[in-house]
Structure 1
Amino acid sequence: MTPTRTSVSTAVHAWDLSLVARSAALRRSRADGGLRALSNAADHGRLWLGAAALLVAAGGPARRGGVRGLVALAGASSVANGLLKPLFPRTRPDSESVPVLRQVLTPPVSSSFPSGHSASAAAFVTAVAIESPLAGIVLAPVAAAVCYSRVHVGVHWPTDVIAGAALGSAIALSTRRWWAVRSEKPADLGSPFDVQPLQRGRGLLVLVNPGSGDGSESIPDAIRRTLPDADLFVPDPELDFNEQLEQRIRDTSPRALGVCGGDGTVVSVAASAIRSGLPLAAFPGGTLNHFARDTGLTAVEDTAAAIEAGTAELVDIAQVSIDGRSVSFVNTATFGGYPDSVRLRQKLQSRIGKWPAAAVAMTRVLAAAEPLNIELDGIRHSVWMLFVGNGDYVPADQVPMSRSSIHTGTLDVRFLPSEPRASRTRLLWATVTGTLGSSPAYVRRAVKQLTVEVEGAPVALAADGEVVGDGTWFEFTSDKNGLVLYRKR
């Protein structure tokens, strides 16, 4: 066995020496300085952190790719530099193996195997491509150049680079095991429903929430261009939105309602549409636009076309009674740690921004979380969190990412019981290994209605990202096909 291993090792090293020699023999060119600069830019993942910032700013699949890329980058760097380099020490190529002008000023002294730069590059770009193939295609040549640059400047053997790239790609692909890829396919809605066409948007009243999304006028301006006769109403942020909208409906008698804002705004206008017996037009004016994405309404032009054609479909809208007070929601309702984190985020975001505030709030709340003792349809449970979704969410055995349908009157109920021993550790392990579906720390049910009674003090409930009230008695129901929603066929 030993001679075979020795012969393989000798052959690999001979191949490495040959390739390094070929790379060193390349004629001097402007690419030398560029590859050295690129190699240095990738130190400590700086290059990929900058790319992630651009992707997050772009939004949509690119944003999700940037976030997944950062997670994969952290995993690949930790495994390559923290685990494999100490376990498999290997001498780097001789500093004289490449021309002086290519050499980096401060050569690394850690083990040559595997290449941490290559692992990070492959992990980041592969993870980005999982969410956004287009962004992955754009970044792939940069990642390939980073990988080759490590040989070009003489700090890695080619097999170090190959091993690092394989490691990074594998870690990026493994994220799918516990972090599902969001489907871009719209959810199935209910039966087609013909409504009166509104040419140029005449008769359409659109509530525009200026505090939603990035605060730009791009979506409202697009609505004005495509539906020039629509009435765009911007409520006074100091007054109650619902009261202002109801007054505007009484004053103008519209034939349809529209909404340009986040999911919290969408549900308010949807509830008004149902009360008034009017169809709803949804425009993607929020930050995440869960409802618009799930229903396939991601482009102003598509919604405008449906309005002018008079095509609509029926959609479920859910309700929850909180100690007798009814509240609607179009996406999800949650209690446990999440509502508390929303309240803390709202206090912090004016000082440090929405996303940093959300991260700080969730970390603080989870660290101090206590289980809730509740009864679900009369059966006692102790839970960390309860999630109720309007429609069928997928995947069933992982953290829910999107909906497959919103027309069956189904409530997708998921909760994290605290009864299993070491439940939080089990939950973390099941999440990382992708075994949530079989874990006792994660329960999913599909029901038509649900009653929840909380033991002790009232708890906060968040619906569609906003805290809507505190209570001890919650009754969840679904108004099957209760909302008429404009959608292009």
Structure 2
Amino acid sequence: MAGRHWPGAEPLLPRLSRSANHGVLWFGAAACIATFGGSARARRAALRGVASLAVASATINTVGKGAVRRERPVLDAVPVIRRLKQQPFTTSFPSGHAASAAAFATGVALESKRWGAVVAPVAAAVIASRVYTGVHYPSDVLAGAALGAGAAFALRGVVPTRGQLPAPGRPPTEAPVLPTGQGLVLVVNRESGSATAASALIRDALPLAELVECASADLSGALEDAAERCVALGVCGGDGTINRAAAVAAAHGLPLAVFPGGTLNHFAYDLGIETVRDTAVALASGSAVRVDLGRIRPGPEGPDGPDGCFVNAFSLGVYPELVRTREHWAPRIGGWPAGVLAAFEALRGKSPLEAELQGRRRRLWLVFVGNGMFQRMGPMPGRRHNLADGLLDVRVVHGGRTPGLRLLAAAVAGPLTRSPVHAAVRRRRVRLSGLAPGTPYAYDGEVARSGTELMIDKLPEALTVYCPMTAA
């Protein structure tokens, strides 16, 4: 096989084989998929591909190569121009390159069939290149590919894909059927992460919808104006933008159509909405669900104004400082670098706050209150399966001298609900008192300041949201 003429392979396959050394090709492919994929599904596919590759490589190098000590093929029949400049020195069976290629391609395909179809031909070419360059027998690459694919499926057994997770438990309800978008007024926050790009897709999917683009400073007025003349209120932006739209929709009794257009989009993704098409399909069928709204009520000495609400989470402690710093630097250096810088700044030289939590005085680094129970334990949220469970997910990191170590310890606490540094409980309401006036708190990425007391509870099933039937 190595000696035969393969049309068009000579300038390509040897280079492709070298590029896959040490997984460089696949790490580069994962970076491109995550960066240019434009969706959470693409980022999950890239991550799963790399994780599958890591499992396959560890298995091949620790077990596979030592189990069958086959010598490499003799190169006499292989034309010199095909041979690799640096010949591998490990045993031949099974092929590590084939295992990595198959593991990466299978891992990507398990999360995203579209990206899997893009990666599969490249993986097949890498696998073929190992025979073409004469460094493996066909049985080496077939066994390696089988082991790589098996590693990806084994990883899926331990860490399920998004499609394997159980259907979220949310009360279904009816909403107006708007297949062309007529009757929908959609407010787009053009300062949100990917909202501008999403606008063009929305115009194509919903040609009769009215789009109103505005800056963050004008968002509240635009939402109130839209609510006065629409059948359904639409919003495109990040979680902070969706927070304001949810409050307006609930107050006016309108169904809300959410189009993810921010950096993280936790609320949309927990609803099963990842693309413009997901929401357009729900609008066309009138498929919707009812979800809870978290509520923040100031105490008697708090600031004047209406109660606040949140669709994702409320937090107190180092996180609001992190949000402020991130928002300051994000326009200059980008969202993710700004998040890293903000985390470093928030944990450097800070002191824990003191407050009464449920009537008991405590020193606290972090109080996190989620709207619904999150899947992963620890101080930070994972995914929610039920946005109408009537519960608050409360995570607390107790005070101490080293916030970074305490937050890390809480993050790896796994299913532990109580430890010297971390507590996780379920509540229907949470009372915080004894706060220093002006203490910052965050909700859905927005930052506000408290009085001496805050009460956090829920408005059960207060909001109707369009949601594709497959996600509901």
The TM-score bracket by the shorter chain reads: 0.7 to 0.9
Measure how far apart 1:200 and its partner are.
5.7
Measure how far apart 1:450 and its partner are.
1.5
Matched, 1:447 2:427: yes
| Counterpart mapping for 1:15-414 below 5 A | 23-24=1-2, 26-30=3-7, 31-56=9-34, 57-58=36-37, 59-73=39-53, 93=72, 96=75, 99=78, 100-108=80-88, 117-118=97-98, 120-136=100-116, 138-155=118-135, 162=143, 166=147, 170=151, 173-174=154-155, 177=158, 181-183=161-163, 187-190=168-171, 192-193=173-174, 201=181, 203-219=183-199, 222-223=202-203, 226=206, 228=208, 230-237=209-216, 239-246=217-224, 248=225, 253-298=229-274, 300=276, 303=279, 312-321=288-297, 324=302, 326-362=307-343, 365=346, 375-379=356-360, 385-395=366-376, 400-414=381-395
In structure 2, runs of 5+ residues without a counterpart are none
Question: Is the Cα contact below 8 Å between 1:332 and 1:388 reproduced in 2?
Answer: yes
Which sits farther off after the overlay, 206-215 or 302-311? Answer: 302-311
Q: Secondary structure at the match of 2:84?
A: coil
Q: Secondary structure at the match of 2:119?
A: helix
1:98 & 1:121 partners in 2: Cα distance?
26
* Residue number in structure 1 paired with 2:447: 467
Count of residues in correspondence between the two structures: 454
Percent identity of equivalent pairs = 36
1:214 & 1:112 partners in 2: Cα distance?
47
Structure 1 155/388 Cα, relative in aligned 2: closer, same or farther at 3 Å? Answer: farther
Structure 1 428/377 Cα, relative in aligned 2: closer, same or farther at 3 Å? Answer: closer
Measure how far apart 1:341 and its partner are.
3.2
Q: CA RMSD in A?
A: 4.5
Q: Secondary structure at the match of 1:216?
A: helix
1:135 & 1:390 partners in 2: Cα distance?
33
Measure how far apart 1:176 and its partner are.
6.8
Question: Is the Cα contact below 8 Å between 2:379 and 2:396 reproduced in 1?
Answer: no
Question: Is the Cα contact below 8 Å between 2:235 and 2:242 reproduced in 1?
Answer: yes
TM-score by length of 2: 0.75
Q: Secondary structure at the match of 1:393?
A: coil
Measure how far apart 1:212 and its partner are.
2.3
In the alignment, residue 358 of structure 2 is paired with which amino acid?
Answer: D
In the alignment, residue 449 of structure 1 is paired with which amino acid?
Answer: R
Q: Secondary structure at the match of 1:403?
A: coil
Q: Secondary structure at the match of 1:272?
A: helix
Measure how far apart 1:412 and its partner are.
2.2
1:87 & 1:334 partners in 2: Cα distance?
51
Measure how far apart 1:405 and its partner are.
1.7
Measure how far apart 1:479 and its partner are.
0.6
Structure 1 138/223 Cα, relative in aligned 2: closer, same or farther at 3 Å? Answer: closer
Q: Secondary structure at the match of 1:358?
A: helix
Question: Is the Cα contact below 8 Å between 1:208 and 1:234 reproduced in 2?
Answer: yes
TM-score by length of 1: 0.73
1:174 & 1:399 partners in 2: Cα distance?
23
Measure how far apart 1:330 and its partner are.
0.9
1:111 & 1:343 partners in 2: Cα distance?
55
Higher share in helix: 1
Structure 1 367/78 Cα, relative in aligned 2: closer, same or farther at 3 Å? Answer: farther
Question: Is the Cα contact below 8 Å between 1:80 and 1:114 reproduced in 2?
Answer: yes
In structure 1, runs of 5+ residues without a counterpart are 1-22
Q: Secondary structure at the match of 2:162?
A: coil
In the alignment, residue 209 of structure 1 is paired with which amino acid?
Answer: N
